[in-house]
Chain A
Amino acid sequence: SQTIHQWPATLVQPVGSPLSLECTVEGTSNPNLYWYRQAAGRGLQLLFYSVGIGQISSEVPQNLSASRPQDRQFILSSKKLLLSDSGFYLCAWKDRKIWGYTFGSGTRLTVV
């Protein structure tokens, strides 16, 4: 069966520090992968999505970046965090043959 892993669950980082959040999918191949952010009082905002290794589409200009070094691995990064980067980050995947999306358990990031 397919599973999605996202870590860490909680992260507190100082302003200006780097960030690396990882998401991996098991039990499928060549999935579409997505990073969403949910800020307090706001809806889910799409940050990045990927349809294949090394292929990244960015939806929102910001100081975050994403990479897909392996087929089932999606990484969200920042060189220097801002206070406004605080939020709940969710990774999701979609099988190309199945329409539904599956989400990970999320990472709560607090930038202090």
Chain B
Amino acid sequence: KQEVTQIPAALSVPEGENLVLNCSFTDSAIYNLQWFRQDPGKGLTSLLLIQSSQREQTSGRLNASLDKSSGRSTLYIAASQPGDSATYLCAVNQGNTPLVFGKGTRLSVIA
């Protein structure tokens, strides 16, 4: 059974700092990995989707990498801003089976 772990569970950083969020999964036979952002009391917003054949994806200040063989992904946020404060969720897809989520990393960026 696929399990997804996110470390750390919570992170507090000063504004402007670069940071890395980690995601690991137990079964490397995935089709893709998706990073989401969730603001308090809100739904999930998709940030980046990495196909299993890809190594990384970039969108603005966000960069996500995927090392499928080792079962790891990282989300890099450059020059963090208070507006980046949210919970970041990692999820993996193994084809026709539904997404499996980690418990998330709660990020606070302090001005």
Chain A positions near chain B (C-beta within 8 angstroms)? 6, 34, 36, 42-44, 46, 49, 51, 59, 88, 90, 92, 99-106, 108
Q: Which residues of B contact A100 (CB under 8 A)?
A: 32, 34, 46, 49
Q: Are B98 and A99 in contact, CB atoms less than 8 angstroms apart?
A: no
Q: Are B43 and A105 in contact, CB atoms less than 8 angstroms apart?
A: yes
Which residues 30-51 of B have a CB within 8 angstroms of A? 31-32, 34, 36, 41-46, 49, 51
Q: Which residues of A contact B103 (CB under 8 A)?
A: 42-43
Q: Which residues of A contact B101 (CB under 8 A)?
A: 36, 43-44
Residue A43 contacts which of B31, B49, B104 (CB distance < 8 angstroms)?
B104
B49's nearest neighbour on chain A, judged by CB, is A100
Give chain B nearest CB distance to A88 CB in angstroms: 8
Q: Are B43 and A90 in contact, CB atoms less than 8 angstroms apart?
A: yes
B36's nearest neighbour on chain A, judged by CB, is A103
Evaluate whether A46 and B44 lie within 8 angstroms (CB atoms) in the complex, with A99-B51, A99-B93 already known.
no
Evaluate whether A46 and B43 lie within 8 angstroms (CB atoms) in the complex, with A99-B32, A99-B93 already known.
no
Within the assembled complex, what's the spacing in Å between the Cα atoms of A102 and B45? 8
Q: Count the B residues whose beta carbon is within 8 Å of the partner chain — how many?
A: 23
Q: Are B42 and A105 in contact, CB atoms less than 8 angstroms apart?
A: yes
Q: Are B43 and A101 in contact, CB atoms less than 8 angstroms apart?
A: no
Give chain B nearest CB distance to A24 CB in angstroms: 15
Q: Which residues of A contact B46 (CB under 8 A)?
A: 100-103
Q: Which residues of B contact A34 (CB under 8 A)?
A: 98-99
Q: Are B41 and A90 in contact, CB atoms less than 8 angstroms apart?
A: no
Q: Are A46 and B42 in contact, CB atoms less than 8 angstroms apart?
A: no
19 contacts between A and B (CB under 8 A): A42-B103, A43-B101, A43-B102, A43-B103, A44-B91, A44-B101, A46-B99, A46-B100, A59-B98, A99-B51, A100-B32, A100-B34, A101-B34, A101-B46, A101-B91, A102-B46, A104-B43, A105-B42, A106-B43
Within the assembled complex, what's the spacing in Å between the Cα atoms of A6 and B51? 28
Within the assembled complex, what's the spacing in Å between the Cα atoms of A6 and B43? 10
Q: Are B42 and A106 in contact, CB atoms less than 8 angstroms apart?
A: yes
